[in-house]
């Protein structure tokens, strides 16, 4: 039986199944809280973006935004699927290098890249640096001064488009910490500074308007604004971009309130808009780059928890506590994000009530799901929360000194531990004594 809204099934025992494996057995074997990914879904998501570009016969790079979930195994899957990679820090770049990711397909982001981060990127001959601010241009120029490296860059611009999403995950608006403004001339100033440098190749423009976006209009509007600038730069400086990177942000389904488009809908709309402008301007079609994170891994991941204490407050609600919470999934506390879940060992049982799923941290806001429809539950049951594959493990933290969970990949009925559970020794390994 299929689970409504989510790409998982219920097996003959009435248990949730992921990647051909019984979720309750995974919880027993690997412990909880546990992140589990169905790798075949990750692969399908990668393929659907790449295939959509192929079907339109467009030169493209699909760069997985590794902030959504980065680990050596994860990046190896991305490498196998021939995607490119977006990294935003030395740590993400280090993980990519450790995974043996081809450096020419790595795109380096960040709104405050350090000299060392930029040097590591340049020394490893990464595919491109997405330049964010004037301080960074100065650092790059310093790095290039005493050697003959050459680098490709994209200029990250803020087009002044507000995306229809949570304020904290909106990035293309004028009042943003990211990128150069198109409106106030800073993008042009940055362009001129780098365009005249003979070791810097300005391959094109980058923008990312936000995350969890369910429509194509804002992408269209953004592309219109990018082309106003491209038209000006063509006239004034005879500049024609090789690449346009329109970022990520393609929405996924967390609950039945979310109605995501297919990958091909976004790809088609973006491609049509860019090709329309390119032909109007009489320039060759630029390569299109996109940076999906959430839409590659989000729906492939679930988190398994063990239910512990329960508190029933008559006529108010029942709190059901699990052995994780905001330490392994910060999104509900940070963005009031909503999730759905099932009791994995009772996935077929009749729903008789509602329970609100509480985390273990010493915070009233540590709630994973409010008012989840549930069957009768008891301590020891396994709760599965759906669509936790993006920005769950990657935003895990150590509040209240909880160790980070383990991560298991499942594919075709075979499970493999890919990130070990942290131990209490791991948690205190950097602590030094003061006695």
Ligand X SMILES: N[C@@H](CCCC[NH3+])C(=O)O
Q: What is the rounded distance in angstroms from the CA atom of residue 371 to the CA atom of residue 181?
A: 43
Residues forming contacts to ligand PLP in the complex (CB under 6 A) are 65, 68, 86, 109, 169, 171, 208, 211, 247-250, 291-295, 390
Among 322, 337, 349, 174, smallest CA distance to 252 is for 337
331 binds ligand X (CB under 6 A): yes
Which one of 4, 350, 362, 378 is the catalytic residue? 362
- Whether residue 33 is preceded by a cis peptide bond, meaning omega within 30 degrees of 0, is yes
In the list ligand PLP, ligand X, none, the entry touching 355 (Cβ below 5 to 8 angstroms by class) is none
Task: Count CB neighbours of 55 within 10 A.
Answer: 12
Task: Count CB neighbours of 198 within 10 A.
Answer: 7
Contact 361, 392 (CB under 8 A): no
∠ CA(182), CA(183), CA(185), 5° rounding?
70
Query: Does 264 count as an annotated binding residue?
Result: no
Which one of 17, 81, 136, 340 is the catalytic residue? 17
- Residue 151 or 246: the one with the smaller Cβ distance to ligand PLP is 246
169 binds ligand X (CB under 6 A): yes
Shortest distance in whole angstroms from residue 431 CB to ligand X? 28
**Whether 362 is catalytic:** yes
In eight-state DSSP terms, residue 312 is E
In the list ligand PLP, ligand X, none, the entry touching 331 (Cβ below 5 to 8 angstroms by class) is ligand X
Query: Does 363 count as an annotated binding residue?
Result: yes
Shortest distance in whole angstroms from residue 293 CB to ligand X? 7
Among 392, 390, 305, smallest CA distance to 344 is for 305
- Residue 165 or 356: the one with the smaller Cβ distance to ligand PLP is 165
Q: What is the rounded distance in angstroms from the CA atom of residue 175 to the CA atom of residue 177?
A: 7
In the list ligand PLP, ligand X, none, the entry touching 346 (Cβ below 5 to 8 angstroms by class) is none
Query: Does 391 count as an annotated binding residue?
Result: yes
194 binds ligand X (CB under 6 A): no
Query: Does 172 count as an annotated binding residue?
Result: no
In eight-state DSSP terms, residue 5 is T
Among 387, 314, 293, 310, smallest CA distance to 355 is for 310
- Helix (H/G/I), strand (E/B), else coil: 220: helix
In the list ligand X, ligand PLP, none, the entry touching 248 (Cβ below 5 to 8 angstroms by class) is ligand PLP
Query: Does 249 count as an annotated binding residue?
Result: yes
By annotation, the residues acting in catalysis are: 17, 362
Residue set of the binding site: 249, 291-294, 331, 335, 363, 391
- Residues at the interface with ligand X (CB under 6 A): 169, 171, 211-212, 331, 391
């Amino acid at each position: 039986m299929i689970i409504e809204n989510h790409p998982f099934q219920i097996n003959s025992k009435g248990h949730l199944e992921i990647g051909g494996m019984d979720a309750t057995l995974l919880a027993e074997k690997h412990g909880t809280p546990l992140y589990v990914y169905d790798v075949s879904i990750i692969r399908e998501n990668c393929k659907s973006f790449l295939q959509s570009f192929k079907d339109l016969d467009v030169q493209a790079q699909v760069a997985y935004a590794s902030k959504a979930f980065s680990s050596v195994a994860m990046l190896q899957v991305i490498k196998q699927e021939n995607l490119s990679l977006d990294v935003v820090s030395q740590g993400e770049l280090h993980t990519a290098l450790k995974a043996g990711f081809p450096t020419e397909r790595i795109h380096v982001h960040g709104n405050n890249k350090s000299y060392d981060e930029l040097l590591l990127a340049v020394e490893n001959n990464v595919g491109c640096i997405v330049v964010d601010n004037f301080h960074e241009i100065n650092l790059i120029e310093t790095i290039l001064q005493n050697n003959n490296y050459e680098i490709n860059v994209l200029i990250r611009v803020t087009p002044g488009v507000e995306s229809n999403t949570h304020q904290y995950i909106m990035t293309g608006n004028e009042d943003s910490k990211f990128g150069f403004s198109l409106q106030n001339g800073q993008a042009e100033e940055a362009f001129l500074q780098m365009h005249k440098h003979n070791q810097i190749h300005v391959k094109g423009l980058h923008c990312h308007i936000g995350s969890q976006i369910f429509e194509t209009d804002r992408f269209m509007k953004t592309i219109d604004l990018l082309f106003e600038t491209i038209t000006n730069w063509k006239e004034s400086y005879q500049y024609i971009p090789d690449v346009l990177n329109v970022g990520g942000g393609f929405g996924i389904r967390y609950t039945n309130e979310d109605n995501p488009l297919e990958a091909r809908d976004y790809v088609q709309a973006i491609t049509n808009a860019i090709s329309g402008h390119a032909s109007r301007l009489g320039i060759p079609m630029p390569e299109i780059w996109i940076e999906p994170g959430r839409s590659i891994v989000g729906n492939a991941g679930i988190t398994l928890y063990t239910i512990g204490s329960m508190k029933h407050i008559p006529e108010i609600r029942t709190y059901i506590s699990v052995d994780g919470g905001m330490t392994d999934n910060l999104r509900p506390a940070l963005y009031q994000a909503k999730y759905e879940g099932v009791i994995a060992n009772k996935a077929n049982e009749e729903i008789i009530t509602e329970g609100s799923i509480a985390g273990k941290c010493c915070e009233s806001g540590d709630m994973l799901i409010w008012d989840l429809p549930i069957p009768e539950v008891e301590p020891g049951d396994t709760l599965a929360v759906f669509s936790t594959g993006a920005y769950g493990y990657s935003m895990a933290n150590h509040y209240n000194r909880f160790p980070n969970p383990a991560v298991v990949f499942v594919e075709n009925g075979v499970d493999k531990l890919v990130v070990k559970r942290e131990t209490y020794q791991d948690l205190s390994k950097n602590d030094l004594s003061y006695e």
